[in-house]
């Protein structure tokens, strides 16, 4: 009776023998960049020991897939505009890191059913080396899908109701608390808040920072209006606060864009800043230095945020298990407070 043909070893078996992830083994096989010498040596040794022979078609597909990573922003078109420059700065940080590798960046703006379906296909078919996911709101099913995907995924900011393995974020709560404590230390007691969207972790965390500081000081924290980080929402929120709470003496805004529009609304209403009403923002955009008066704000390095997100994704692609990273923030005091 003829001997049965010997079963060919699989890439999973190579990865197991080498003590690395399947993704890391695939990157070694395809001579992809950004793989440590130790991992490369271990995989090559396992290939020799097992007699692994890759399928030519599968290898060609894998080579194309390994050449790009996806940055998916689940937000609308305005998120990439000059009104709210957060994402453009984050993209610049990501690009800086990827330029040092052989990986290309694919930007996907998830703002329609078609683009959402496209991202779902990427996650389910592994048609990229990895994915960075930013800008989710509420119970976005993409967050859960990405976390369950069998491919490297790093979150930019923590999603609500999902605790991801890999993410980069800023100390939003601590930064907002510091801004509010600064106003309290300057003798302000009727402090209002203009929040960002409370169906995002950043918006919720910044509002909690305000609430923390007000509670410790024993101050009323009911003077609240909600915005969505845009100029128009900041103007509307400031006008609503002045109508409802004409005695307010300070405002903590959820980002610089809303804070800058609040400054304009206060001037239009005949309120002096900071004599009558002090104002703080969050992000430290370039424009915050050139307002009248210059804006006190919480600084976060958005480009560093993008760089660290890209570095973390490269580490996960290489089979590492990096810890989540919370970047520090700091208060920049200018004339608006």
Domain segments of the chain: what residues? Answer: 11-64, 67-168+302-327, 172-299
Structure-model confidence comparison of residues 162 and 202, the more confident one: 202
Maximum average pLDDT range among 64-68, 147-151, 155-159, 220-224:
220-224
pLDDT at 64: 46
What is the pTM (predicted TM-score) of this model? 0.79
**What sign does the CA torsion over 120, 124, 130, 133 have?**
positive
pLDDT confidence band for 74 (50 / 70 / 90): confident
Q: Of 208, 205, 163, 202, whose CA–CA distance to 84 is shortest?
A: 202
Q: In what order do the strands lie in the sheet with 296-299?
A: 224-226, 191-195, 250-253, 278-283, 296-299, 330-332
Classify 296 as helix, strand or coil: strand
Q: Of 145, 197, 182, whose CA–CA distance to 330 is shortest?
A: 182
Judge if 11-64 and 172-299 fold alike in CATH terms. no
179-233, pLDDT tens digit by residue?
999 999 999 999 999 999 998 899 999 999 999 999 999 999 999 999 999 999 9
- Which residue in this structure is represented by tokens 């959402």? 116
Maximum average pLDDT range among 42-46, 63-67, 181-185:
181-185
DSSP labels for 160-171?
A: TT---SSEEEE-
Q: Let me know if domain 172-299 sits in CATH 3.40.50.150.
A: no
- CA–CA gap between residue 203 and residue 175 (Å, rounded): 12
- Fold entry, domain 67-168+302-327: Rossmann fold (3.40.50)
- CA–CA gap between residue 66 and residue 44 (Å, rounded): 18
- Fold entry, domain 11-64: 434 Repressor (Amino-terminal Domain) (1.10.260)
pLDDT at 58: 47
Structure-model confidence comparison of residues 249 and 3, the more confident one: 249
pLDDT confidence band for 54 (50 / 70 / 90): low
131-154, pLDDT tens digit by residue?
899 876 666 677 777 777 778 889
């Amino acid at each position: 009776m003829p001997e049965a043909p010997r079963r060919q070893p699989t890439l999973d078996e190579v990865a197991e023998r080498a003590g690395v992830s399947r993704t890391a083994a695939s990157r070694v096989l395809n001579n992809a960049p950004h793989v440590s010498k130790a991992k490369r040596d271990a995989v090559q040794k396992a290939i020799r020991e097992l007699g692994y022979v890759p399928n030519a078609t599968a290898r060609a597909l894998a080579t194309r897939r390994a050449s790009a990573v996806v940055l998916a922003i689940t937000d609308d078109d305005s998120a990439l505009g000059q009104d709210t420059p957060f994402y453009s700065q984050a993209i610049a940080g990501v690009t800086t890191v990827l330029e040092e590798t052989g990986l290309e960046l694919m930007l996907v703006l998830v703002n329609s059913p078609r683009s959402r379906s496209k991202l779902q296909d990427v996650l389910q078919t592994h048609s990229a080396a990895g994915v960075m996911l930013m800008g989710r709101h509420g119970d976005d099913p993409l967050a859960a899908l990405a976390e369950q995907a069998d491919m490297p995924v790093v979150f930019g900011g923590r999603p609500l109701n999902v605790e991801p393995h890999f993410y980069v974020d800023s100390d939003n709560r601590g930064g907002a608390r510091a801004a509010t404590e600064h106003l309290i230390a300057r003798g302000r007691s009727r402090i209002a808040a203009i929040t960002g969207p409370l169906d995002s972790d950043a918006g919720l965390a910044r509002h909690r920072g305000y609430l923390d500081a007000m509670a410790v000081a024993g101050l009323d924290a009911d003077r609240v209006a909600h915005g969505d980080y845009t100029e128009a929402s900041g103007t509307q929120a400031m006008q609503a606060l002045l109508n409802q709470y004409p005695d307010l003496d300070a405002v903590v805004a959820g980002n610089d864009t809303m804070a800058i529009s609040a400054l304009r609304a206060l001037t239009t209403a005949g309120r002096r800043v900071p004599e009558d009403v002090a104002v703080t923002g969050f992000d430290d955009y370039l424009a915050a230095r050139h307002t009248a008066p210059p804006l006190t704000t919480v600084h976060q390095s958005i480009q560093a945020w993008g760089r660290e997100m890209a570095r973390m994704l490269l580490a996960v692609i290489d089979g590492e298990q990096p810890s989540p990273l919370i970047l520090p923030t700091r208060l920049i005091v200018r004339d608006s407070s």
